[in-house]
């Protein structure tokens, strides 16, 4: 059953018609649209001169904690690209900081959790979920400011990291190639792992709910590193947490579930209760559409152009984009996106070219669009 039957926004006020009828939210509900809506994961980021200018004056974490500046970054990227949705500017790791794990971003080296979680006892020592979510107030204010600054017909997507992805950062202390420490913890301390998943689920549910109350009209769960697990382990150690998280979110606001490098997990993620299945470049749009038959709550499919194609020639880029549209074949409930975040080497002009191409080509109905 769809979670999306209720015509309310998360704060339980009726959603304005231009927003409710936006191509993006219609597509999230699996409804026909005048064109295929498009946005790009990490659409506001280092590849944008506007963003780099702001970062020249502010560290990454200071920027995340400055609602006005974060809103400006998100709003500018949305307008520059002409995409059909904005996404809140924030980082998935601020949740770990709020849970009591000190967080640093060092230039070049990426994120560092300087006191990683290595033992079961560390899980019990995490701060309470409600306190953590309250501490993330600056994100919720960012949402409100972003929504206030966007055109009335443009939805704002809130987000969080997925439970496995956050657990992996907490345990490894940063990014990882093999997720050795994370999997070892998961295999050796299943009870502590389950407790960690539960703590993360409660915190993430509160954090997303507060983003929705602040005006986010869709949320995406970035279970980015989930693809590091095989199917059996994902089903056993992570999928239950993902299902709990989705179940805790208010109805009426679409939830997108995304994992990278996770073609092999596509069916499991399709079954987590989310409304939209985010498909990465290793996944298959066609199979994702077919998943809707087996999961009646699943309304839409998002993806999945390889972000490296933005570094190709314009001709090769648009050939790739056309192939994605052709695979979606104009079926209602397709949101065009990349298979992963925009790479820092990307020419912003190429990203803008891609967005215009997707909107115009799909509006022409050249790809069999019905609506």
Binding site for a copy of itself (CB under 8 A): 178-180, 183-184, 187-188, 227, 230-233, 261, 263-264, 281-284, 304, 306-309, 311-313, 316, 323, 339, 343, 345
Residues in the chain: 371
Of residues 220, 212, 211, 155, the one with CA closest to residue 23: 155
295: region left, alpha or beta (phi > 0 left; psi from -120 to 50 alpha): beta
Q: For residues 80 and 179, which CB has a smaller minimum distance to a copy of itself in the complex?
A: 179
Show which residues are catalytic: 42, 46, 55, 91, 169
Q: For residues 53 and 315, which CB has a smaller minimum distance to a copy of itself in the complex?
A: 315
Q: What are phi and psi of 161, to 5 degrees?
A: -75, 160
Which DSSP symbol is given to 38? B
At its nearest, how many Å lie between a copy of itself and the CB of residue 313?
A: 6
- In which element (H, E) is residue 106 found? strand 103-106
For 64, 66, 209, 320, the CA distances from 137, given in Å and listed in that order, are 11, 11, 12, 40
Q: Contact 284/263 with Cβ under 8 angstroms? A: yes
Q: Report the C-alpha gap between 257 and 298 in whole angstroms.
A: 10
Q: For residues 205 and 342, which CB has a smaller minimum distance to a copy of itself in the complex?
A: 342
Give, to the nearest 10 degrees, the angle between helix 67-81 and helix 348-364.
Answer: 50
Q: Report the C-alpha gap between 164 and 257 in whole angstroms.
A: 13
Q: Contact 337/39 with Cβ under 8 angstroms? A: yes
For 22, 129, 154, the CA distances from 18, given in Å and listed in that order, are 6, 35, 8
At its nearest, how many Å lie between a copy of itself and the CB of residue 274?
A: 20
Q: For residues 33 and 304, which CB has a smaller minimum distance to a copy of itself in the complex?
A: 304
Q: Report the C-alpha gap between 303 and 147 in whole angstroms.
A: 24
At its nearest, how many Å lie between a copy of itself and the CB of residue 166?
A: 19
Q: Report the C-alpha gap between 125 and 195 in whole angstroms.
A: 11
Q: Contact 260/304 with Cβ under 8 angstroms? A: no
Q: For residues 216 and 358, which CB has a smaller minimum distance to a copy of itself in the complex?
A: 358
At its nearest, how many Å lie between a copy of itself and the CB of residue 108?
A: 13
At its nearest, how many Å lie between a copy of itself and the CB of residue 86?
A: 24
At its nearest, how many Å lie between a copy of itself and the CB of residue 68?
A: 32
At its nearest, how many Å lie between a copy of itself and the CB of residue 237?
A: 12
Q: For residues 53 and 232, which CB has a smaller minimum distance to a copy of itself in the complex?
A: 232
Q: Is 18 exposed, middle or buried (0-12, 13-18, 19+ CB in 10 A)?
A: exposed
Residue the block writes with tokens 């970062």:
55
């Amino acid at each position: 059953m769809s979670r999306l039957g209720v015509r309310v926004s998360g704060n339980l006020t009726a959603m304005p018609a231009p927003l409710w009828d936006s191509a993006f939210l219609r597509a999230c509900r699996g409804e026909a649209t005048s064109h295929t809506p498009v946005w790009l994961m990490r659409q506001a980021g280092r590849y944008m001169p506007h963003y780099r200018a702001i970062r020249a004056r502010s560290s990454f974490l200071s920027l995340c904690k400055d609602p006005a500046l974060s809103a400006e970054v998100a709003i500018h990227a949305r307008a520059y690209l002409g995409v059909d949705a904005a996404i809140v500017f924030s980082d998935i790791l601020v949740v770990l900081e709020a849970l009591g794990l000190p967080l640093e971003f060092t230039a070049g080296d990426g994120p560092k959790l300087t006191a990683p979680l290595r033992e079961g006892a560390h899980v019990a020592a995490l701060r309470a979920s409600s306190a953590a979510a309250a501490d993330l107030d600056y994100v919720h204010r960012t949402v409100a400011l972003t929504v206030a600054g966007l055109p009335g017909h443009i939805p704002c997507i809130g987000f969080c990291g997925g439970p496995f992805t956050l657990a992996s950062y907490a345990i490894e202390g940063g990014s990882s190639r093999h997720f050795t420490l994370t999997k070892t913890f998961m295999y050796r301390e299943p009870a502590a792992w389950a407790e960690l998943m539960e703590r993360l689920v409660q915190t993430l549910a509160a954090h997303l709910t507060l983003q929705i109350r602040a005006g986010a009209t869709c949320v995406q769960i970035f279970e980015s590193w989930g693809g590091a697990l095989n199917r059996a382990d994902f089903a056993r150690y992570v999928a239950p947490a993902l299902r709990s998280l989705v179940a805790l979110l208010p109805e009426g606001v679409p939830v997108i579930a995304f994992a990278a490098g996770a073609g092999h997990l596509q069916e499991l993620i399709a079954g987590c209760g989310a409304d939209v299945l985010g498909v990465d470049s290793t996944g298959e749009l066609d199979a994702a559409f077919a998943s809707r038959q087996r999961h009646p709550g699943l309304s839409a499919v998002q993806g999945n152009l390889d972000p490296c194609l933005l570094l190709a020639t314009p001709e090769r880029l648009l050939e790739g984009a056309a192939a994605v549209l052709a695979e979606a074949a104009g079926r209602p409930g397709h949101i065009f996106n990349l298979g992963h975040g925009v790479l820092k080497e990307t020419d912003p002009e190429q990203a803008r070219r891609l967005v215009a191409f997707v909107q115009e080509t799909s509006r022409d109905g050249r790809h069999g669009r019905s609506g």
